[in-house]
A and B are shown apart, each in its own frame.
Chain A
Amino acid sequence: MSASGVGAPPTVRVWVDDQPVDVEPDGPVVEAILRKDERFPHICYHPALGPIQTCDTCIAEVDGKLVRACAVPAAEGMQVRTQTVRAQEARMEAMQRILVHHELYCTVCDNNNGNCIVHNTTMHMKINHQKYPFQPKPYQQDNSHPFYRYDPDQCILCGRCVEACQNLQVSEVLSIDWNRDRPRVIWDNDVPINESSCVSCGHCVTVCPCNALMEKSMLGEAGYMTGLDPALWEAMIHLTKAVEPGYGPIFTVSEVEAQMRQSRIRQTKTVCTYCGVGCSFDVWTKGGKILKVEPRMEAPANQISTCVKGKFGWEFVNSPERLLHPLIRKGDRFVQVSWDEALDYTATRLREIRDNYGPDAIGVISSSKCTNEENYLMQKFARAVIGTNNIDNCSRYCQTPATEGLRRTMGYGGDTGSIQDIAHADLVIIIGANPAESHPVLSTRIRRAHKHFGQKLIVADLRRNDMAARADLWLHPRAGTDFIWLAAVTKYIIDQGWHNEAFIREKVNRFDEFRAWLSPYTLEFAEQQTGIARKDLIRCAEMIHEATKVCICWAMGVTQHVMGSETSTLICNLLLITGNVGRPGTGAYPLRGHNNVQGAGDFGCAPVYLPGYERVDDPNVRAKYERAWGVKLPETPGMDNHRMVEEIHQGNLKAMYIQGEEMALVDSNSNHVQAAFEKLEFMVVQDVFFSKTAQFADVVLPACPSLEKEGTFTNTERRIQRLYRVLEPLGEAKPDWWITQELARRLGAHWNYTHPGEILEEACGLAELLKGVKWDRLEGYQSLQWPVQEDGTDTPLLYTEGFPFPDGKARLHVPAWRPPVLEPNEEYDLHLNNGRMLEHFHEGNLTYRVPGIREKVPMTYVEVSPELAKKRGIETGALVRLVSPYGAVKVRAVVTDRVQGNELYLPMNSPRDHEAVNYLTSSYHDDITHTPAYKEISVRMEVLEAKGPSPMKRGNFRLGHPRALPGVMVEQKWRRTDYQPLTDEAAPSAEQAKRLKPRAPVPT
Chain B
Amino acid sequence: MAETIFDPNIIKDQNLVYKRTDHMKEKALSYCPGCGHGTAHRILMEVIEEMGIQEKTIGVSPVGCSVLAYDFMNVDMQGAAHGRAPALATAIKRLMPDKFVFTYQGDGDLAAIGTAETIHACNRGEHITIIFINNGIYGMTGGQMAPTTLPGMRSSTSPYGRDEATMGHPLRMTELVATLPGTCFVTRQAVHTPGNVRKAKRALRTAFELQTRKIGVSFVEIVSNCNSGWKMTPVKANTWMEENMFPYYPLGDIKVPEKID
Instruction: Tell whether A pairs with B.
Output: no
Chain A residues with a Cβ under 8 A of chain B = none
Interface positions of B (Cβ within 8 A of A): none
